[in-house]
Amino acid sequence: MRSACISVKLGIRERLSPSCGSNMLSCWLSRLCRGFSTPTGRITHLSRGSLSRTLVLSSQRRIPEFSSFVARTNTCGELRSSHLGQEVTLCGWIQYRRQNIFLVLRDFHGLVQVVIPQEESAAAVRKILCEAPVESVVRVSGTVISRPPGQENPKMPTGEIEIKVKTAELLNSCKKLPFEVKDFVKKTEALRLQYRYLDLRSFQMQYNLRLRSQMVMKMREYLCNLHGFVDIETPTLFKRTPGGAKEFVIPSREPGKFYCLPQSPQQFKQLLMVGGLDRYFQVARCYRDEGSRPDRQPEFTQIDIEMSFVDQTGIQRLIEGLLQYSWPSDKDPVVVPFPSLTFAEALASYGTDKPDTRFGMKIIDISDVLRNTEVGFLQDALSKPQGTVKAICISEGTYLKRKDLESIRKFAADHFNQEVLPVFPKASRNWNSPVAQSILEEQRSGLIRLMEIREDDVVLLTAGEHKKACSVLGKLRLECADLLEARGLVLRDPTLFSFLWVVDFPLFLPKEENPGELESAHHPFTAPHPSDIQLLYTEPEKVRSQHYDLVLNGSEIGGGSIRIHDAELQRYILATLLKEDVKLLSHLLQALDFGAPPHGGIALGLDRLICLVTGAPSIRDVIAFPKSFKGHDLMSNAPDSLPPEELKPYHIQVSWPANSEAEKSSLNQPYCPES
């Protein structure tokens, strides 16, 4: 009997191992747990005497007790040879069943193999385990036994053992699923979002959310326990504030009066400094009604921080320490201090205020080399007072196909109305020969020297006013990196985390919709650079600010500033330069007048940070219940319509746009999700 079983088992094991996700499993939770298991160095040296010993024990990071208070003795994923002979009770979901002989049980911790008893006396147990559909929840009790020799599965952390079941209980049966939960089965994102609670069962989502939780925990530890920050909640029902992102409006029962959801706790955190709280932080939910934008969510989370009596360097060192302390232990450690570029340098070298510094291809001004050029559009640009010629050198750019270069030129023409010229100063291939021949030999050697061009490099040239030429090349730099990576080159090492501070932003930018007016580059509470204060009254557009952004691998993951703590200066900036209604901010202006300390702060975008750390393709993959691209909750159908009688207490009437019959009638329709 046993030998027959074994031969079946072998076949099953062979089929099970590649697909059960055990490879991923073998590392994910243990990677997370490693973070828990080391005592913090800071605490260990206290371990003298019994009181300090208690302190040490309670402060050490330990492996959490996953099975306290619940109806199991162990988790599926934790069992090893060291548990052999133990009687265990496990609860989990049925991941697989093979030929009614084995069942693989899954919980958040991992997978374990359960042997379905074949004896007559165990008919009831067999019936439960053989009939329950996949993804049903069961509780099994039995003994941990070794797998027969040669049948261990080294790819499964629990692969040396299996469970010999004595009793089984079906806790809840699973109906037909909209998709298979297993990670390797591909699903559309709309379906995943519609059945998010099922999607969350995947190991990938479990990993992302648990890593997020662990990093936040360490951040709290660092801020509160090591640096004396106070975790304070601020209101989410607030009022409209000037000069920032668009806010969501919440009706109130008072006619014509509305709350707004705060785009950030900015005013409150400054008021907390006026209130003498000294060091504030919050894992803060923020809301911005900015419409659909890739990698943005209408509600998102910030690690929001404010400190009194601090300068820019103080904030930067705090954040570097915070990231270093909370960084997952399975990644390369964070090296501090982070490099820093001014806004002007970032724009000149990378064409953006959030440069991806994992690779080179910096923008170089080649105006002087091409001063006497005969190429028409370059000549044109250089004849204008602000005209420049700029270039990037794409190393190994000859890997790009002709059609890639064509698409790059088209992109520049379509999006920036800008001409871009590829040249191959060293390569024998010369696809753009007519123009290339217009580049004189001394210009060619000048370029090679200035840009350190090698054999397989391609140079992209463009011309025009500094900012525009840099912006185009900044975009093309990223575009080329994507194209080269699609051709198999690795430009951006996926294990590399390249942090960068960008500082000395302008205090104001011309308004997009009306360039004659100014708007804040960060927000209106940002202090001007001390050396530029006088310019506020003469040439405000030239004033630099004490605003700093933190960039990681080309994404902005944080931003903050030293604040204005002088009410007069704040009033002048709001009323005179930004033309805002100061009445809306009278509470803040008044507070600044009552002995506000100098203060500054920063907010880190938690979703984006975790997305980069986990390598997730979208921020939606690190949020438990995200909104779709259109801002909808596909699971519950929010936002939803309300019947007119429910709007009455808020003194609101919907003014339906023309052709909205369908929307109107959807008031009484069952929900049908976006696809």
Give min distance, CB of 220 to ligand ASP, in A. 18
CA distance 578 to 557: 26
CA distance 231 to 312: 22
> CB-wise, 140 or 602, nearer to ligand ASP?
602
CA distance 309 to 568: 19
Residue that the structure tokens 């100061």 belong to: 582
> CB-wise, 264 or 349, nearer to ligand ASP?
264
> CB-wise, 310 or 613, nearer to ligand ASP?
310
> CB-wise, 206 or 266, nearer to ligand ASP?
266
Measured over the CA atoms of residue 423, residue 427, residue 428 and residue 429, the dihedral's sign is negative
> CB-wise, 397 or 601, nearer to ligand ASP?
601
Using DSSP's 3-state secondary structure scheme, residue 196 falls into helix
CA distance 642 to 484: 51
CA distance 642 to 137: 37
Question: What are the phi and psi torsion angles at 103 (to 5°)?
Answer: -135, 135
Residues ≥6 apart with Cβ < 8 Å to 160: 80, 81, 146, 147, 152
Nearest of 499, 496, 464 to residue 354 by alpha carbon? 499
Give min distance, CB of 271 to ligand ASP, in A. 13
Q: Which residues bind ligand ASP (CB under 6 A)?
A: 264, 266, 559-561, 601-603
CA distance 388 to 574: 36
Give min distance, CB of 262 to ligand ASP, in A. 9
Asked if residue 506 has a cis previous peptide bond (ω within 30° of 0), the answer is: no
The answer to whether residues 589 and 567 touch, using CB atoms and an 8 Å cutoff, is yes
Give min distance, CB of 561 to ligand ASP, in A. 5
> CB-wise, 312 or 388, nearer to ligand ASP?
312
Give min distance, CB of 547 to ligand ASP, in A. 8
Give min distance, CB of 101 to ligand ASP, in A. 57
- Kindly list the distances between the CA atom of residue 405 and the CA atoms of 411, 483, 588, 669, in Å, as whole numbers in the listed order: 10, 10, 53, 51
> Which residue minimizes CB distance to ligand ASP?
264
> CB-wise, 323 or 481, nearer to ligand ASP?
323
The answer to whether residues 544 and 311 touch, using CB atoms and an 8 Å cutoff, is no
Residues ≥6 apart with Cβ < 8 Å to 225: none
Tokens of 656: 């339906």
Give min distance, CB of 602 to ligand ASP, in A. 5
Residues ≥6 apart with Cβ < 8 Å to 663: 641, 656
Give min distance, CB of 505 to ligand ASP, in A. 12
> CB-wise, 273 or 613, nearer to ligand ASP?
273
Number of H helices, E strands in the chain: 21, 21
> CB-wise, 375 or 603, nearer to ligand ASP?
603
Give min distance, CB of 591 to ligand ASP, in A. 17
| DSSP for residue 120 | G
Give min distance, CB of 382 to ligand ASP, in A. 39
Give min distance, CB of 310 to ligand ASP, in A. 12
> CB-wise, 138 or 603, nearer to ligand ASP?
603
> CB-wise, 117 or 601, nearer to ligand ASP?
601
Question: What are the phi and psi torsion angles at 56 (to 5°)?
Answer: -60, -50
> CB-wise, 422 or 600, nearer to ligand ASP?
600
How far is C-alpha 638 from the geometric centre of its chain's CA atoms? 23
> CB-wise, 315 or 473, nearer to ligand ASP?
315
Give min distance, CB of 560 to ligand ASP, in A. 4
Where are the extended beta strands (E) located within 41-149?
A: 87-98, 102-107, 110-115, 137-146
Residues ≥6 apart with Cβ < 8 Å to 319: 305, 550, 558, 602, 604
Give min distance, CB of 226 to ligand ASP, in A. 21
